Amino acid sequence: MQRAAQGWLVYELTDRALYLGIVAACGTVPMLILSLPAGVLADRLPKRNILLVTQSLAMAQAFVLAALIYTETVRVWHVMVMAAFLGTVWAFDMPTRHAMVLELVSKDDALNAVGLNSSAFMTGRIIGPALGGLLIETAGLAICFFINGITFLGIIVALLLIGSIRTGSAASSPMLTQIGEGVRWARHNAVAFVLLALITVASLYGLSYVVLLPVFARDTFRAGPIGLGFMMTAYAVGGLTATAVLTTVGHRWPMGRLTTIGSFVFPIALALLALAPSYAFGIAALSIAGFGMMMFNVTANTMLQKMSPDELRGRVMSLRSFLFAGMSWLGDLQISALAEWFNERAAVVIGAGICLAAAISAWSRVPQLRSSE
């Protein structure tokens, strides 16, 4: 809900697609800088304690933005600062959350655990943007940020109910040395390396399409803020469908094969969005894109968690966060710049083509990926 509101707010304040990319970059640059050190902390400290801090800080930033909008003092630089603050919080939150999964379940249950976690996430993405678009239209932007802040209270209570699981491990070497251990492991594991490469390409050239959704909603399809909400929801519906398939019948096929399928479906659907002749066609394309990306993301995430050594899991997942979220600011800037130079349709087509080329390369050059569990 906040993401839909933030995109609409920035576009209303500036009326320029470039600022959508700049604000998105402000939220991801801190992840580029801090994700790898955060992974070391996730391996050293109790993960639940880290998450209690990060969730509390995320709640605070939502309330600050709500107050700025309610008092009509908000400026685009305020949104940039709060986006950078939240990006700093997520740099520590994301690798810790992912690494915590296998402290809660066994490796045999990892696919279902990651799938169910993603289902919860995608359910929020179904309800949130649609509700956000409706609230923007009827009650204003401030309420979206305020409600988002309230929802963090439930997460904090849930973390307290989990209780302490593991105390972490004492630091035995400098932080840079520990970061290097995780990077070396990933570099020398062929399947992990290609998964991380595909994640990087998706972050830079695929997932950046989200930055341009306000442009598609307002200018391309003339659907308004409610239309924007339903566009974001359509992607989430596709993603939730994929997680349902994975948690029920996903064990029948090698995860590497499912990852490969997802890496093909996602860019093809993005190209269909860019070429969509109507709003309804665009909604359908976004649903397929969500299905493909979630199939890729859940299986790749699960494979990385299962194959990484216990003592390195936090650092491996921080490397994933570094590439998936930390590098996305470059994608956000490039796609918004392409939209300014050409148009939003051309920008998305170019990104989709690069993602599809990467998927074909991975399929042909690393055949062991397709049979990996």
Long-range contacts of 174-180 (CB under 8 A, 24+ apart): 175/37, 175/40, 178/40, 178/43, 178/315, 179/36, 179/37, 179/39, 179/40, 179/315
* CB 217 within 8 Å of CB 227: yes
Which stretches of the chain score pLDDT less than 50?
Answer: 170
Tokens 């008092």 label which residue? 71
Measured between alpha carbons, how far is 229 from 244 in angstroms, rounded to an integer?
Answer: 22
* CB 97 within 8 Å of CB 43: no
The structure tokens listed for 97 are: 């959350």
Per-residue confidence (pLDDT) for residue 165, from 0 to 100: 65
* CB 353 within 8 Å of CB 271: yes
Q: Write the pLDDT tens digit of every residue in 113-159.
A: 888 887 887 787 778 777 888 888 888 899 999 999 999 999 999 99
Per-residue confidence (pLDDT) for residue 170, from 0 to 100: 47
The structure tokens listed for 209 are: 């399409």
Per-residue confidence (pLDDT) for residue 275, from 0 to 100: 95
Sorted by where each starts, the structural domains of the chain and their CATH numbers stand as: 2-371 (1.20.1250.20)
Per-residue confidence (pLDDT) for residue 167, from 0 to 100: 53
Measured between alpha carbons, how far is 118 from 298 in angstroms, rounded to an integer?
Answer: 7
Measured between alpha carbons, how far is 182 from 40 in angstroms, rounded to an integer?
Answer: 9
